[in-house]
Amino acid sequence: MNEFNLNQIRFFKSFIIFAFITLATSLIIMNSSSQKFRVSEIEYSMEDQLAMESLNLLYGKSIWFVDENSFQQIYDDNPDIKNLNITKRLPNKLIISVNLYQQLANIIDLRASIETYTILYENSYVVSAPTIENTLPIVKIENGPVDSGFNGELISLFKTLDNYQYTKQSLQIKYDGEAFNAYYGKTTFQLGDAVDLGKKASILGAYLSDNSCDGTVRFLTSESTIENCN
């Protein structure tokens, strides 16, 4: 095969590749600009009572150009959203499922003349509530002040307790400005100050699961206790 024929073959291959790329690009441009592939329907659960108004900005947008960045305003409006799962159902429908951060505890602040209720989430987000959530533990702040790491210690405590079986709504914790006391069933747990609550929770969780102590358990350190059980 002479050099002229080889050059012809190379030219033909290059032309085929160029034509394919051109055709693919044209199809993408046509689809992205076509009314058929513009978002006209968005499906999501209404049960979580989230601020989803910014989804209206997606209507009329090419479905091909909808990505994770398109939902940043949703995250900004809803700090309790952990992530969104987006399914594109061609030609024009978006299906959105929401994963929320875990609610960990009710926080009741008794330091003011009027007590306030908030819910603590695993990502440190705190939201005001009109009353307590009946499925969560209760933390009562009777005196203060509390330092900047207070909520972080509570998160460590409750995330560790998630590894144990206990009735969450039956656990009540009180903070008097200096130390924590936890109450569960007929047992009082003197947890001490707001340090190493995650480690203390490993011992506390074992007691909560067993729930056989009728009396008092005092934490000497984050890893040792002395008990007075009947």
Helix count and strand count (H, E) for the chain: 4, 12
> In sequence order, what are the residues at sequence separation of 6 or more whose Cβ sits closer than 8 angstroms to the Cβ of residue 36?
91, 92
Homologous superfamily of 36-100 in CATH?
membrane protein fhac (3.10.20.310)
pLDDT at 114: 95
Report domain extents, the chain. 1-33, 36-100, 103-229
The answer to whether residues 94 and 87 touch, using CB atoms and an 8 Å cutoff, is yes
∠ at Cα 45 (73, 76), nearest 5°? Answer: 15
Single-letter amino acid code for the residue at 134: N
- Tokens, residue 24: 């693919």
- Whether the per-residue pLDDT at 6 is higher than 80: the answer is no
Rounded distance between C-alpha atoms, residue 61 and residue 108, angstroms: 45
| pLDDT per position as a tens digit, 58-107 | 999 999 889 999 999 999 999 999 999 999 999 999 999 999 999 999 99
Rounded distance between C-alpha atoms, residue 161 and residue 179, angstroms: 19
pLDDT at 1: 53
Q: What is the pTM of this model?
A: 0.81
The answer to whether residues 190 and 217 touch, using CB atoms and an 8 Å cutoff, is yes
| pLDDT per position as a tens digit, 35-52 | 788 999 999 987 778 999
Give the mean model confidence (pLDDT) for residues 178-200. Answer: 97
- Tokens, residue 144: 């203060």
DSSP state of 141: E
- Tokens, residue 228: 């007075």
